[in-house]
Every structure is written in structure tokens, then in C-alpha cells.
Amino acid sequence: MRQLHFNLFIMGCGHHKAAWRHPESQVERLGDVRFYEELTQIAERGKLDAIFFADGQSSDNVSDGPRWFLEPLTMMAALARATERIGLISTVSSTFYTPFVAARMLCSLDHVSNGRMGWNVVTSMFDSEARNHGYEAMPDHAWRYARAEEFVDTALQLFDSWSDSALVMDRKGDYAKVDQVRQILHKGDHFLVDGPLTLPRSPQGQPVLFQAGASEQGRDLAARKAEAIYAVAYDLPSAQSYYRDIKRRVREAGRGVDVPVMPGLVTYVGSTMEEARRKQQELDELLPAETSLRQLGMFVGQDCMNWELDAPVPPLPPLESFKGPKGRYATMLRIVEMEKPTVRQLLGRIAAGGGHCTMVGTPESIADQIEQWWRNEGADGFNLMPPSLPNGIRDFVEQVIPVLQKRGLFRQEYEHATLRGHLGLERPAA
């Protein structure tokens, strides 16, 4: 029976840019792995499918607040030991990692977690990141996606370089069957990899592959390779457009599988609508305009620092000419088109989640909206982006999840031990 899927997207003190400024934030604990263990345990109590970390390879204006802290793959080993059932997903950059390094780390973590590992493949996007990895500037979009596709294909081959029955550990004979451990002998435009991996095939066979393609190339890659997809959707019509397009592309790729689509979701939960709005306003009022303008500038690819706050948003270039992350930019264009906001109003709109769907209300009203998206080809689930942590995820787990469970839309207990099991995915054959 089809049910909702939920990931907790952990980002600093929360996804609102001012979350770290709140008196109840735990900004002092961002370097303490126990903080992330506790968040993951809250998510596990809610029976969520997984927790998820994004990643970046450079620092922006550090005065604005935390963005990156502990390296996520490193953290996964600790989180695996602090939990039992919940999935663990980390972002991996195909632009800067090599397939062998990534596959070895991910396969190791799948063993450590007993089959709970997933990886979100991104192409990276900023010149500041490129200059930390030996490039003068970020390579162009087509090059990055060609490398990403070869990266994924090569990593998948490495995951399968040991057969499931290769390891025999016969103390009087062989440790492993030589004929069931193979080199992949990959030689492509971007990578030269002999293989095999240095460790046996993992419990899931392959860690679950996530992708978040928004451009044409990104959508094609997601449709052909991804096992679950993250999306950016401002409202239900934009979510439906993406959902239907991706599902069509998956069918046309001839895969014959159902690939869950999970848009980002920001929630403010209150016992009344007024309480929920107060929570939102509390955070909005803590955010300096200068910080918001820098965030907006990153989303639209231009300097916004001199924009008049109470004037309409200046004309923005069309989507096809934008060189940055197209999903986020398309959302900015849609907000401007639909709401015709002033700059100040747009800043408030993107303060948490940067244009992802935002639901403000009671547990019942938020559950109503989630169900509406789920029943009407808007989402198979959501990548939860709490505006503040830990309160935002605690509110969702303790108040919204029980409503969805009562409606039969979400599991009461874990039925599987692996991330693949949670997502209804088959274990791939070697």
C-alpha cells in the first residue's frame, strides 16, 4: 500500500537564516556530533525514512551564520552507531570526488549501518568551490553533467565488483572466490578506474541513489539513474508539473520502477494558526536585511545589496539564460510572477527554505495540505526542512506525524531494516 515518505534535512540550527540567532538555538553545539545524533534519534522516533545532509565545498559570508560545519560522510559513521533503523543520506559531489573514493566510503558506511546508506549526487555550482579543488572557475554545465553521469555509472560498477557470494571465509581454503571479484577496467572521458573495490558488496547491494535534477540535463539524469528524487516546489501546481514530467521521463527511460519524488517542505506547527504564525514571525524578525539580500543574491546570481526593500523586485533574466541552480531560480521567478512582491516581501518568503513549499498552521491543517499534495501528483513524500532545530523537527514528529498515522498515510512502525526497504525499492542484483 502506498504511503508517504519523509526525510529530515539537517542544516545547521535550522533552515531559516536567522535560526542560529534565536535564544533557543543550539548554535554552540554545531561541532558536537551528539547534537546530530539527537536530531537523528528524534527523526527515528517519528519513523522517518532517513536523515539527509547537504554539503558545500566553500564558505560564504561567515558573519551571516553557520552554513557548513562537520563533513557529512564523516558524521554518518557516528549516526549509524547511535540509531538502528533510520536511513542515512549524504550529498556527494561528482565534480570533486572520484568514483573510487566515493564508492569505497559509501560501501563502507552501508556495512557500518547494516544497509541504511544513501547518496545524493550533485554537480556543485560555485566558482569559489572550484578554486578549492584546482579549477580556476567552475566547468560549464554540460561538462559537469557529463562527468556526473560517468561518475554514477562508474561508482555503480564498483559497488557490483564483488558478487554477493564472493566472500566465503573458508579458514582451510579461500577467503573469497577470485572469479567473483572483478575489475571494472573503466576508461572514460573523465575517469580511469580499474577496480575492484577493496571491500565486499554491501548489505543493500548499492546504497540508494538520490538526485535533485531541475535542468533538462539534471532531469534526464535523475530519470535514468536516480532511485529517489529531491525537488524544489513553491506550490502544488509547480510540484505537479515537475512530478508528472519526472514520472514521464522515468517511463520513457524504460526503467519500470516507481521513483519517489520528494519536494522540500518547511513547516511552522502551532496549536492554533496564530501560534504557528508567531513562530514564523519570531524568526523573520531576527534576520538582518543585509543577510537576506546576500541570500537572495546567491539564489538569483546577481548583487542585490542596493535593491530598494519596499520597491517591486527588479526584472529577472529568463530561466534559460541563468547559469546557476535552475530549480531554485525557477522558484524565484514563479514567486515574483504569482505574488508580485516587494523586495522585502520576497526576502521574508525565502528566509526559510529559499522558496521551498512552506506550510504554516495546526497539525491537522498541515496534514491536510500534505495529503492534498500526495493524492494529487504533487509528491510521494517530503524532504523536511525545519526552520529551527531541534524544535522544528520535534514539533513535526510529535504533532503532525500522529495525524498522518491516524489517517493511514504513514507507517506506525518500521517494517524494514534497510533504507531500500523503507522506500519500497528492490535490492539490485550484482
What is the tens place of the pLDDT at every residue in 175-185?
999 999 999 99
Average pLDDT, the chain: 93
What pLDDT does 139 receive? 85
Contact status, residue 197 vs residue 109, Cβ threshold 8 Å: no
What pLDDT does 411 receive? 98
pTM for the model: 0.90
What pLDDT does 354 receive? 74
pLDDT for 191 beyond 90: yes
Burial of 170: CB neighbours in 10 Å, binned 0-12, 13-18, 19+: exposed
DSSP 176-190: B-GGGB----EE-SS
Closest CA to 300 of 326, 263, 264: 326
CA distance 200 to 183: 13
List of domains in the chain: 5-266+358-423 (3.20.20.30)
What pLDDT does 62 receive? 82
Look at 335 and 37; give whichever has higher pLDDT: 37
What pLDDT does 359 receive? 95
What pLDDT does 61 receive? 72
What pLDDT does 254 receive? 92
pLDDT for 309 beyond 80: yes
DSSP 140-176: PHHHHHHHHHHHHHHHHHHHTSB-TT-B---TTS-SB
What pLDDT does 59 receive? 81
What pLDDT does 23 receive? 94
Q: What percent of the chain has pLDDT over 70?
A: 100
Closest CA to 125 of 100, 103, 148: 148
Residues 6+ apart with CB under 8 A from 2: 380
Reported as a single tens digit per residue, the pLDDT across 193-218 is 999 999 999 999 999 999 987 788 88
